[in-house]
Structure 1
Amino acid sequence: MADDHTHVQDFFSVRAADWDSRFPDDGPAYAAAVGAVGLRPGDAVLDAGCGTGRALPYLRDAVGPGGTVLGADLTPAMLAAAVRAGRDAGGALLVADAARLPVRGAALDAVFAAGLISHLTHPEGGLRELARVVRPGGRLALFHPIGRAALAARHGRSISDDDLRAEPRLGPLLAHAGWRLDSYTDEDDRYLVLAVRAH
């Protein structure tokens, strides 16, 4: 497990300083994805694998001043970049593994996770941990600002049904982890999966 964490931290640590400048136009996509979650004023939400905190201001706007916003990431350098960008004003930042969160059970109304699932060492276990911290009926959003085909093309690969984020694989994975798939969107300019915490 430690080796997997070191790999993830190494990958993101060297990219943290210029992460936002590599993806300068993602703001509207983040805003739209957060809007689709259906958060209400006063809700408690976690941005799991928050990186540089690009979703935090939108999550804060959605839950209002009476809500709770947490941002958790395994890589201190990414959280430091979030602080430099002033995004810690949107929520409390935690150095934490999304697969072992320092959050009590059923404490949250929703989890937002941008690009997280492909970095989980054990995806089903990670999704089960996200389910643990969300109340029954609460929501999960798995987001990426571009779809699977566009992302594969960016990396010089072809799209595959073996991809963890493909609907035929992800649906059963979510179900085994305590989630019910609510909607699945995979378009060139957005990947957004919404799921509901089963009772």
Structure 2
Amino acid sequence: MSNSQITKDPVRVEILTKAAELLGRFGFKKTTMEDIAKAIGKSKSSLYYYYKTKEEIFEAVVAEDMDESRAMTEQKMNTVESAPEKFRLMFTTIFGSIREKIDKFSVFRADVMENPALMENIGRERDIYMENLLTDLLHYGIKRGEIREMSEEEIGVWTKVTNMTMRAIGQRLFLEDNFAYVEKHLDFLAITILNGIVKK
């Protein structure tokens, strides 16, 4: 079940909205379950009915942001027909939103660096989603004759390695302050990852 389906409950929506505000202002370490309960005007025990731990709330807040990013990415991808252009838009949209995420989540960047386990569950779920998206994109491109024929094993290897590359780039960009040097070359990087740099 996606986070967007879970958050249809108005109480969950309120919890995540207030939690996102508190986490954005104070970070993960300094925000308590009591703070979140107070912010929504409920007791801590009623908060535990929805989320057992602060980690669960953190994951849900980040997952909600990821759902929004995915919807925006897929919407942009659907505006074009060709597989290479879909890949370029996927790549540039995902990394183009890093600047916004840095601003939105800057306070708990330090929390994530100090405690990488915070992102483990979110990272696993993100990997599954990205590998499926990339696999579908390859099949689509092969069917259209825009991407060369590959075996299922080769498709699997390409999607895993491309996903690992994108995840590593995203993590470094999110955790570092010097983002501009990559931001202006997103189109180049997308084309290079898909087509390589060998002169044809």
- TM-score, normalised by the number of residues in structure 2: 0.30
- TM-score, normalised by the number of residues in structure 1: 0.30
Structure with greater contact order relative to length (CA < 8 Å, sep ≥ 6): 2
- Higher normalized strand content (fraction of residues): 1
Flag the structure with larger Rg. Answer: 2
- Higher normalized helix content (fraction of residues): 2
